[in-house]
Each structure stands twice: as structure tokens, then as C-alpha cells.
Amino acid sequence: MKDARRTALQRNGFTFKQFFIAHDRCAMKVGTDAILLGAWTPVAGATRVLDIGSGSGILALMLAQRTADHVQIDAVERDAAAAAQAADNAAASPWAARVRVRQASIQEVARDSTVRYDLIVSNPPWFAPGVACATAARDSARATGDLDHPTLLACAEALIGEAGALCVVLPESEGTQFIAEAEARGWYLRDRMDVADNAMRLPHRVLLMLSPTPGEALSGRMVIRGDDQRYSEAFCSLTRDFYLFM
């Protein structure tokens, strides 16, 4: 019976090297976008981390794995079912003592919180409202709705420390628009990684790091698969601490 329950649980989630993410109560399942962002986001020097729109809690737990024991990670998720699942995932992880999940909108948190974060991460919604998704819950999770990108940036401004960083993953076209919106608000682009499926295709995703503080702007490009359709060395190097098959 125990093995049967374990098998059912594995089907309803994703097993990483150091933790398991159940996602059967979440509209958005574990995907490559979140894994790329969680593995790529610079964490050096961060002591307070905020995950906006946490969903299953995957980013919070990936960043917990990558940071020291003194780093506190807060995850905010407005959907009640997803927030409860993220809290369960955090409680079952090796980092239960330092990952805190709150069910709330980020607008509430930005209005009420006095905490300032060294690092804010988000795999934000980017579909325009009205673009049909497979389910109403998925539509709510992926459509910008009341968390459009200007709102996300405004909330991040209210919560970020002076030398902090905001990291997001977006489709390439939406990423270009996000950069323009952020720079118009006084943010500085500090790092950009364009991601393509393979060397023959244009980038379809972009990983961005922005900061309220100016500094050197880095850029790069990564392909997920090489010419032989195997995962590229760059992708493996980035994600091998998480994927079981690497």
C-alpha cells in the first residue's frame, strides 16, 4: 500500500535530486521555464528572497537548495489550492524551516510589508486576458489580469532593497517589452540570457535580471539541445543539480 501511494504521488508531481514537487492542485505544472529560472537566478549575497506567484513552490525550493541555511525565502501565491500545495511541498522539503508560504496577492504584500528583499523572482503571467487556456484555473494563472507587468514592477519596487535584483522568465517578445517598461520606471537591465530550443531556432524564452541600481550589463545565449538532440552541455551544467537524469 505504501508503494502504491508513493507511485500515485510521483505521478502527480516531479521528483528532483533533493526534493519532490507535488503539483496536482496547481493550474501550472512543473515546467522548463521555472527550472531554468530557478537554476539561473544569481543568489550570491541574498539573505531575504521573495517568490511572487509561487504556484507549487518550485522556485522557492530551488532557491532554498542553492542558498545557505541563514537565507529566508518567502513565497506568495494568491490561489488558495496552489498556496496550500506550495506550503505542503515546503514542509516536506529539507528547507521547511526557512521557506514560508503566504496565500495573498502580491499587491496586498507590497502594501503591508515592511520587509525589503535582496532578491525577488517570478515566473509571471504573460498571456493577454481573453486568450483561451486549457482550463479556467490555468487561464487565471497565465493571463496577466490584475498582475500585469507594470503592476508586477510596481510591487517589486515597493519590496526590493536598494541593491536588490528582480529575476523573471518570459517569452522573448514579452521580455523585450518588459525591459522597456522596467527601464522607463528606472530599473536597470543587469543580465539577460536568451534561450533557444536548438542552434537553428530563434530564442523563445529570455531570463532577465533587473535592479534599481546601475551596473555592468551581461548577456548570453543558450540552446537547450544540441545538433544530436541531446541536452546541451550548457543546459546540463545549469540544471544538473536538480534533474535526476543528469
Question: What confidence tens digit (pLDDT) does each residue in 25-59 have?
Answer: 998 899 999 999 999 999 999 999 999 999 999 99
Q: Are 62 and 94 in contact (CB under 8 A)?
A: no
| Tally of domains within the chain | 1
Mean pLDDT, range 195-208, rounded to an integer: 96
DSSP 96: G
For 1-23, the pLDDT digits (tens) are: 334 334 334 568 999 999 999 99
pLDDT, tens digit, for every residue of 122-156?
Answer: 999 864 544 444 555 444 444 444 789 999 999 99
> Mean per-residue pLDDT for 192-210?
96
Where b means 16+ CB within 10 Å and e means fewer, 147-186 reads bbbebbbebbbebbbeebbbbbbbbeebbeebbeebeeee
57: left (phi over 0), alpha (psi -120 to 50) or beta: left
246 in a structural domain: no
Domain containing residue 234: CATH number: 3.40.50.150
Rounded Cα–Cα distance for residues 164 and 157 (Å): 10
Q: CA-CA distance, 63 to 18, in Å (whole number)?
A: 12
Rounded CA-CA distance 55/32 in Å is: 14
Burial (Cβ within 10 Å: 0-12, 13-18, ≥19) of residue 36: buried
Segment 172-190 mean pLDDT: 96
Beta carbons of 104 and 53 less than 8 angstroms apart:
no
244 is a domain residue: no
3-state class (DSSP) for residue 210: strand
Asked if the structure places residue 21 within a domain, the reply is yes
Q: What is the pLDDT of residues 70-89, one digit of tens each?
A: 999 999 999 999 999 999 99
Measured CA to CA, the distance from residue 240 to residue 246 in angstroms comes to 5
Residue 245 placed within a domain: no
pTM: 0.89
In a domain, 158, yes or no: yes
Mean of per-residue pLDDT scores for the chain = 90
For 223-241, write each residue's pLDDT tens digit.
Answer: 999 989 899 999 999 999 9
* The three grid cell numbers given for residue 193, joined into one nine-digit string: 540570457
pLDDT at 146: 72
Q: Which three cell numbers stand for residue 108?
A: 496586498
Tell whether the model's pLDDT for residue 208 goes beyond 90: yes
pLDDT (0 to 100) of residue 133: 46
pLDDT for residue 172 is more than 50 = yes
**What's the pLDDT at 196?**
97
Per the domain annotation, does 27 fall within a domain?
Answer: yes
Task: State the residue for C-alpha cell 508586477.
Answer: 152
Q: Which range of residues forms the domain containing residue 9?
A: 2-239
